[in-house]
Copies of this chain bind each other. A is one copy, B any other.
Amino acid sequence: MAKIKGNKSSTRRDIIITKASALFREKGYSASSMRDLAEIVGVEAASLYNHISSKGEILQEICFKIANEFMSNIEKIDSSNISSIEKIEAILRFHVQHMLNHYEDVYVSDREWKHLPDPYLSNYQSQRRAYRQRMGRIIDDGIAKGEIKDIDSSTAVLIMLHAVSGIESWHRSKKKVPGELLEENMLMILIDGMRK
């Protein structure tokens, strides 16, 4: 008989990781204790270990899920047949939308990756580096083709990525501009700033 529920990922585990993400975002990874997390999940701290094997594993899961999503996105976009500046625009839109819709995960993986346990830390760092280099190459291409101003591409990458991560404070502010408007404003400023 066909099972209706998926056989692989236990839902309970996913709940824990989701709640951990919110907790880590709010208090930071190091200041969040397993007892804090347990209370939010509604369980004793020791019970968490029936679903995960360590605190670090939770962080690792969050970080690499996000890293993979961004990585496969940039690959898809970069191999498509559009201009450099359109590529950058598409990448930025993906960043903005991800930051709007998966706020907690993106924020945590951006801010707390330093605390990844050791085999994963260096792995994560090189993925990060690869991602930036890839963006940098797209920009350099755009400069070579005259679509983009003659700027230092690594500086441009740095501006783009950090500007987007500023959506963090948008989430916390009371009177929020609607998400679509935020996206259009961001794109307008950043793309116009680069365009020749």
Whose C-beta in chain B lies nearest to the C-beta of A129?
A: B173
Our pick among B111, B159, B168 for the contact of A163 (Cβ within 8 Å) is: B159
- Segment 148-196 of A: residues with Cβ below 8 Å from B: 149, 151-152, 154-156, 158-159, 161-170, 173, 177, 181-182, 185-186, 188-194
Residues of chain B contacted by A27 (CB below 8 angstroms): 114
Contacts of A188 in B (CB 8 A): 149, 151, 193
Would B177 and A167 count as touching, CB distance under 8 A? no
Q: Is A56 an interface residue (CB 8 A)?
A: no
Q: Does A115 contact B (CB under 8 A)?
A: yes
Main secondary structure of the interface of A (DSSP, over half): helix
Number of interface residues of A (CB under 8 A): 38
The complex places the Cα of A149 from the Cα of B191 at a distance, in Å, of 13
- Report yes or no: A186 in contact with B155, Cβ–Cβ below 8 A: yes
| A31 contacts B by Cβ under 8 Å | yes
Chain B CB within 10 Å — which of A156, A163, A166 has the most?
A163
A169 to chain B, nearest CB (A): 6
Please, which residues of chain B bring their CB within 8 A of the CB of A192?
149, 192-193
Known: A28-B114, A28-B115, A193-B190. A158 touches B169 (CB 8 A): yes
Determine the chain B residues whose CB is within 8 A of the CB of A177 once the complex forms. Answer: 152, 154-155
Contacts of A166 in B (CB 8 A): 158-159, 161-163
Query: Is the C-beta of A10 less than 8 angstroms from some C-beta in chain B?
Result: no
Checking B111, B114, B115, B190 against A159 with a beta-carbon cut-off of 8 angstroms, the contacting residue is: B190
Interface residues of A (CB under 8 A from B): 27-28, 30-31, 111, 114-115, 149, 151-152, 154-156, 158-159, 161-170, 173, 177, 181-182, 185-186, 188-194
Q: List 19 A-B contacts (CB under 8 A).
A: A28-B28, A28-B114, A28-B115, A30-B30, A30-B31, A31-B115, A151-B189, A152-B185, A154-B173, A154-B177, A155-B182, A155-B185, A158-B163, A158-B166, A159-B163, A159-B166, A159-B190, A163-B166, A189-B190
